[in-house]
Amino acid sequence: MTAARLAINRLRSAKPLDAEAVDRFLARHEVPVVEGDRCTFLWRGEADEAWVCQRIVGLPDRIPLRRLHGTDLWYLVLELPEGSRVEYQIEIRRGEHYERFNDPLNEKRSHSPMGSSSVCFAAGYETPDWVLHDPEARPGELRDLVLRSRALGRDAHVSLYLPARFRPTASYPLLVVHDGGDFLQYASMKTVLDNLIHRLDVAETVVAFTHPGDRLAEYPNSAAHSRFLTQELLPELESSLPLVGQRAGRCLLGSSFGGVAALSAAYRSPDTYGSLVLMSGSFVFTDIGTDHGGGPAFDPVVKFVNRFRAKPRCVADRIYQSCGVYEQLIVPNRSMVHVFESAGMQVRYTEARDGHSWENWRDRLRDALSWVYPGPQKLYYE
């Protein structure tokens, strides 16, 4: 797409270029305007300055929008690689007052542990069909479980997923998911499980969606959280449900701080879990000094990851690891691959042109789960 043919440049040459012309332009185009590898971000309103704010590694955090002469429309053209998903917000300045908000011209939202943001789908990105409701897929069942945890000092709420054809006489592998409520709400994980099991991509699996109390206290290398998983939740589930009950049939899944929680729990009990799924793990470390830039919440994470990197330990047979290339965590995640492999663990590592969000982790679920617990379809073709 040449610059002259971009929609925003055609608007710039419109005569007369007035409010009615902007109205017609916005009515005809979805915002951001995606044309080949160019994405035009827009904001309309009165301000002294305006920016697109994002956290793509390699780009400035704030990129200025230009005001279209004679109008209240602001624009920015960015080149985005094919298949990208970019999360962003708009920031404006009026005098001394700054305000940041989601794009009012774009209804698409993305969600992360830090909140929601607007999202731009670059050319070539498509939401996978297996994350959408399939009327042919038999739905599994969600049951609530409340477990009094001495380790955590609170009632632990767990949402149990049982596959559609669940039978007490069968034997199922177990997947334990950190941040279970968010994976169910923002990553559509019940729908994903229903579809992937129906399509025979993933084995029939029992899934325990755990709900954290204070995740910033329970997830960064917490001994109490690890005791809850291994000494309380696991025995409760394996005594009440028809589970495989062996290392090969146990997997921990976590993203962001949840990835640290999964790894640290396996580290404390290296003979218990056969597989880990670590998505955008917050594996921040230092090679020298103590300035890691993550703030106090990352102090226990850095201490744990530094110790793990110094003396890698085999804590599972296999690790599925993923990260978005636009995330600040891409370098730490890439750095951990050889650390895991050096400890004798089999690692499958994938990257996507995406950010730190539940939608990124949702889109990786088929690769992750079909590798950890392959269904008949995968076993036949791979």
How many CA atoms within 13 Å lie on the side-chain side of 148?
Answer: 0
Domain with 13, as residue range(s), is: 7-121
Question: What is the chain's alpha carbon radius of gyration, rounded to the nearest angstrom?
Answer: 23
Token pair for 147: 């477990």
**DSSP 8-state assignment for residue 23:** H
pLDDT on residue 232: 98
- Each residue of 213-224: pLDDT tens digit? 999 999 998 999
Using an 8 Å Cβ cutoff, are 72 and 21 in contact? no
Beta bridge partners of 144: 159
User: How far is the C-alpha of 22 from the C-alpha of 265, rounded, in Å?
Assistant: 55
Lowest average pLDDT, out of 49-58, 187-196, 222-231, 256-265, goes to 49-58
**Integer distance in angstroms from the first to the last C-alpha of the chain?**
39
Total count of domains within the chain: 2
Q: Are strands 318-324 and 346-352 parallel, antiparallel or unpaired?
A: parallel
Q: How many CB atoms lie within 10 A of CB 281?
A: 28
Q: Do residue 81 and residue 161 come from a single domain? A: no
Q: Do residue 175 and residue 114 come from a single domain? A: no
Token pair for 371: 């590798």
pLDDT on residue 219: 95
The residue among 121, 144, 165 that closes a domain is 121
Residue 1 resides in a domain: no
Confidence of residue 1 (pLDDT cuts 50, 70, 90): low
State which amino acid sits at residue 213.
Answer: G
Residue 244 resides in a domain: yes
- Each residue of 270-316: pLDDT tens digit? 999 999 999 999 999 988 777 777 778 888 999 999 999 999 999 99
Q: Residue 81, preceding bond cis, omega within 30 degrees?
A: no
Q: Do residue 369 and residue 298 come from a single domain? A: yes
pTM (whole model) above 0.75: yes
Using an 8 Å Cβ cutoff, are 307 and 313 in contact? no
Q: Do residue 202 and residue 296 come from a single domain? A: yes
User: How far is the C-alpha of 258 from the C-alpha of 278, rounded, in Å?
Assistant: 8
Confidence of residue 262 (pLDDT cuts 50, 70, 90): very high
Residue 78 zone, left/alpha/beta (φ > 0; ψ -120 to 50; rest) = beta
Q: Do residue 65 and residue 150 come from a single domain? A: no
Exposed/middle/buried for residue 129 (C-beta within 10 Å: 0-12, 13-18, 19+): exposed
Q: Do residue 146 and residue 222 come from a single domain? A: yes
User: How far is the C-alpha of 229 from the C-alpha of 220, rounded, in Å?
Assistant: 14
Q: Do residue 99 and residue 138 come from a single domain? A: no
- Each residue of 170-191: pLDDT tens digit? 999 999 999 999 999 999 999 9
Token pair for 154: 């609170």
- Each residue of 119-168: pLDDT tens digit? 999 999 999 999 999 999 999 999 999 999 999 999 999 999 999 999 99
Using an 8 Å Cβ cutoff, are 364 and 352 in contact? yes
Three-state DSSP at 212 gives coil
Higher-confidence position of 341 and 58: 341
Q: Do residue 41 and residue 165 come from a single domain? A: no
CATH number reported for the structural domain that contains residue 98 in this entry: 2.60.40.10
pLDDT on residue 55: 82
Q: Is the pLDDT of residue 203 over 70?
A: yes
| Closest among 123, 150, 87, 81 to 353, alpha carbons compared | 81
pLDDT on residue 52: 97
User: How far is the C-alpha of 284 from the C-alpha of 277, rounded, in Å?
Assistant: 17
Confidence of residue 225 (pLDDT cuts 50, 70, 90): very high
pLDDT on residue 377: 75
The residue among 53, 87, 121 that closes a domain is 121
pLDDT on residue 112: 84
Confidence of residue 379 (pLDDT cuts 50, 70, 90): low
Q: Do residue 232 and residue 277 come from a single domain? A: yes
The residue among 104, 121, 138 that closes a domain is 121
Q: Do residue 269 and residue 285 come from a single domain? A: yes
The average confidence (pLDDT) of the chain is: 94
User: How far is the C-alpha of 192 from the C-alpha of 363, rounded, in Å?
Assistant: 10
Q: Is the pLDDT of residue 381 over 60?
A: no
User: How far is the C-alpha of 130 from the C-alpha of 193, rounded, in Å?
Assistant: 9
